[in-house]
Structure 1
Amino acid sequence: MLPEMAVGTAALKRPRSADLYHRGRAVFPGGVTRATIELDPEPIYLASGSGAYVEDVDGNRFLDLNNNFTTLIHGHGYAPVAEAVGALLRQGSCFSNPTQHEIALAELLIDRIPAVEQVRFVNTGTEAVMFAIKAARAYTGRSAIIRFSGCYHGSYDWAETGQNGVTAPGGVPGTIGVAAYAGAPAQSADDVVVLEFNDVEGLERGIKRHADHLAAILIDPMPSRAGLLQPLPKFIKRLNALSKRHGILVIADEVLNLRQSFRGASRRYGLEPDLLTAGKIIGGGFPIGAIGGRAEVMAVFAGDGPLVPQGGTFSANPVSMVAGLIAMQALTHEEFDRLELMGQRLCGNLRDCAARLDRPFSVSGAASLFRIHPKPVLPQTYAETRMSEAEKACMQDLTRFFRERRGILLPFGAAACLSTAMTDQDIDQVASVFEQFLKTYDFKDLEPKS
């Protein structure tokens, strides 16, 4: 049962978090080391986690719907991983030579994911996407890529272009991507065609115009940062056909969405990738990334003088390999089925509640992922997910209500997720708190539901 928090604007006292943030501001730009940390007004510093719950340094306990940005699919302190890693550390944490552990995890991924015939391990999702793009360029001899507006693919210049949307149209509508950071090299945009997710006609125009220069189409099968948009079957079918016709490789970025089924998101939605990137859940709570795909494409990484050199001091380190293997082995068909049912139940309850109370909210997502939108109609494009100032304020209040009054960490403006450590009681509590918010919040600044 979730703890009942006191009601009030600043209901929870966090003096130790405030003190740590004061110290952090002296040593970190902005006081923290990740741009994704929520400051409201200071970050919550956590001390421990167990199962579906975390506890902060001030003793406050929370149900965690973030799970380190969807990484911890088994929740916190997963005992089988903790025990195996503890034993492994006494044997050595990393070596310059390979170990048997990397082969075991690779074999599991190849056995599960239809698009993966061979694998290379790296340390992050960003690295995985970066090397997948490099591999596609080396294999095709072309330099340009297609990516979709609003989608997040890590911190590589070409992968970032367009993640914040587009500026004025270029030769093809919506092809000039907004730079992801100040000072980004303008020439990176020359090799990035930014299109709209689910826009079949736009996809056809973009490929027709740029086919001779395109190495790859980079796609998140259900774009999380763009709002967990549901892919249209006709869009996926056309993408598969056009990429094959023009010899363009498809890179499925499943760093986040691999958790959508036993065989991943591409299989779920009918996408036929040549390369696939993974991370998060495959590391069991430790840093990891992976590039997988067809053997003939992956061959660019092989040989004494490979077309794409790829190293990494901590790539395929034994800790991540062992933790990932144990975590993935525990993700059986039955566990994925249970997560699917919990996700369906939660999303259904949230939608029913908004409809019953006539509140301007919709819910997107699939399997163990969901996102609440302060909009009466479910967004179908990235542009439709963008929030007005009133909508942002409403979502901030929703996040605070969950956190301060009912002890639930609900990510702001990002995908929330379930874990195998959660119970039906946890799911029902999340839906109940949402209902309480809808009943008490003043929606006067939002458009009424028509």
Structure 2
Amino acid sequence: MSKIKISGNTDSTRPNLIASAELFERGKRVITGGNTRLAISERPHPIYFARGTGVHLVDVDGNTYLDFLNNFTALIHGHSYRPVLDRLHHQLERGLSFSGPTELEVEFAELLCGRVPYFDQIRFMNSGTEAVMYAIKAARALTGRPKIAKFEGGFHGSYDPIEISLDSTPANWGSRSAPNAMPYCAGMSESVTADTVVLPFNELGASREILEGNKDKLAAVVIDLLPQRVGLVPMKPSYLSFLREFTARHGIVLISDEVMSFRLSFHGGITRFGFEADLCAFAKIIGGGLPIGAVGGPSRFMLAFDSANGKPLVPQAGTLSGNPMSMASGITAMQSLSEQDFQRLDDLGEYARSSLTEMFRREGLPYSVTGIASMFRIHLRSEAPKDYREAYAAPEQQEKMRMLVWALQGRGVIVSPTCQLCLSTPMSTDHVDEMVTSVRAAAQMLEAA
């Protein structure tokens, strides 16, 4: 892999990105904001990629990178995974999409229901956002109640009710034990804010009091077992047990957002944490790199979508839902993931976290690491955060994080804008060692500057 030289000036830590800059200028003329994904928006412009193979990405300027982001955890097999490419080519010759279902949809549903012990049925969508949205709509339809509850800082896609308190700040987040419900975007209806209850993550006593006060109006509690914006901190087993017992006792639907955490084990995050949700929303890795989303669960909850006897409680359609390309890609990607693969990714993830932690200690760098399994996140603080408020980055920290991400790009490593990293099956300890070396050099340069 070609190495990228870094200047001592922190404003010049990014690699040569002339072609990316030119594409961004072209894009701004015809695409609002220059590109269509907020998550990859960067100042002064994002990197435009040309191709990817295995663990590597190549940008339009010819720079090569180790990819520790894998399209925000979606590519568990890395780039251009040959079995998926072959399966897609096979399907391509037969058709991209049809105005009717295919056997592939049934085959994939059978595969996923076979993996997650408590799934009876599944419905396919096109994104994690859709999956969470439909799970919430099902919960409201089944219970006849309007409200939902979520964690402060929890990200669950772009659906108004679940965006509440996604990025609250010290200026508006209120009490730690009773967080304010803050709108995410301009123009959000006051009724949306009023119908979303915000919980303090992993705070059992405070959450119990909030839930008790809303139990008769709550349709659902939406959880994430390893929420990224909350700091990639796992949910405490005692807290999870409380939520499971409370929701079951009061007829509230417990929805597990596994869009990312389906990576946590062969049977998904819910099985790794030893519980059963009522509905599960998932996406990312199950698509093998193509757009996908799904809701799964026991029949008594999935019946909200049942159209066999007429109009369902929750009509769910979509021109490309269950399309054969995504089904073919997803089937192959998931068939290629064995329990041994997940164990190896677990071990490699632990190696990465311990290597980073030891390096920070040895070098006297005030950084920490969180995460489990194949996902982890670097924090610009010596003590690992425990919740959203501790993981929250003030403007100065955000700027420092941006410079760290730039410095890593300059050393040929791609991570998320919040310094989240994830592994793919082609990775080895050599790739992790290379990443740790790059983090050390980038952090040392940043601290010196």
TM bucket, shorter chain = over 0.9
* Residue type at the aligned position of 2:362: R
* Alpha-carbon shift at residue 193 of structure 1 (Å): 0.4
1:329 paired with 2:329, answer no
1:29 paired with 2:6, answer no
Q: Is the 8 A contact 1:225 1:414 kept in 2?
A: no
CA-to-partner distance for each residue in 1:230-275, whole Å, 9 max, x for gaps? 2112111111111111111100000111011111111222342100
Distance 1:115 1:395 in 2: 41
* Residue type at the aligned position of 1:79: R
Q: Is the 8 A contact 2:262 2:268 kept in 1?
A: yes
Distance 1:410 1:300 in 2: 39
Where does structure 2 lack aligned partners over 5 or more consecutive residues? none
Q: Is the 8 A contact 1:115 1:275 kept in 2?
A: no
TM-score (norm 2): 0.95
Distance 1:246 1:443 in 2: 55
Choose from 344, 361, 365 the match for 2:367.
361
Task: Pick closer, same or farther for the CA change 1:443–1:184 going to 2, 3 Å.
Answer: farther
* Residue type at the aligned position of 1:223: P
Q: Is the 8 A contact 1:236 1:270 kept in 2?
A: no
* 1:106-255 alignment, distance < 5 Å: 106-165=109-168, 167=172, 173-255=177-259
* Residue type at the aligned position of 1:231: M
* Residue type at the aligned position of 1:46: F
Partner of 1:52: 55
Distance 2:221 2:14 in 1: 47
Distance 1:431 1:137 in 2: 46
Task: Pick closer, same or farther for the CA change 1:245–1:443 going to 2, 3 Å.
Answer: farther
1:398 paired with 2:398, answer no
* Residue type at the aligned position of 1:6: K
- Residue 234 of structure 1 aligns to a residue in which SS? helix
Select between 177-186 and 308-317 the one with higher mean Cα deviation.
177-186
* Residue type at the aligned position of 2:163: E
* Alpha-carbon shift at residue 11 of structure 1 (Å): 5.6
Partner of 2:78: 75
Q: Is the 8 A contact 2:69 2:416 kept in 1?
A: yes
* Alpha-carbon shift at residue 187 of structure 1 (Å): 0.7
Where does structure 1 lack aligned partners over 5 or more consecutive residues? 445-450
CA-to-partner distance for each residue in 1:184-240, whole Å, 9 max, x for gaps? 111101111001110101221112111101111000111112210121121111111
CA-to-partner distance for each residue in 1:147-196, whole Å, 9 max, x for gaps? 000010111111111212374659x9535321110111111011110011
* Alpha-carbon shift at residue 36 of structure 1 (Å): 1.0
* Alpha-carbon shift at residue 436 of structure 1 (Å): 2.2
* Residue type at the aligned position of 1:384: E
CA-to-partner distance for each residue in 1:22-68, whole Å, 9 max, x for gaps? 10010111111111114242211111000010101111111111111
* 1:243-392 alignment, distance < 5 Å: 243-303=247-307, 304-392=310-398
Q: Is the 8 A contact 2:345 2:425 kept in 1?
A: yes
Task: Pick closer, same or farther for the CA change 1:318–1:441 going to 2, 3 Å.
Answer: same
RMSD: 1.6
Give aligned pairs, total.
441
1:423 paired with 2:428, answer yes
* Alpha-carbon shift at residue 424 of structure 1 (Å): 1.7
Distance 1:187 1:414 in 2: 35
CA-to-partner distance for each residue in 1:398-441, whole Å, 9 max, x for gaps? 2112111x211121215311101212210111111222234443
TM-score (norm 1): 0.95
Partner of 2:2: 3
Distance 1:80 1:90 in 2: 16
| Identical-pair percentage | 40
Distance 1:357 1:390 in 2: 23
- Residue 29 of structure 1 aligns to a residue in which SS? coil
1:411 paired with 2:416, answer yes
Select between 148-157 and 11-20 the one with higher mean Cα deviation.
11-20
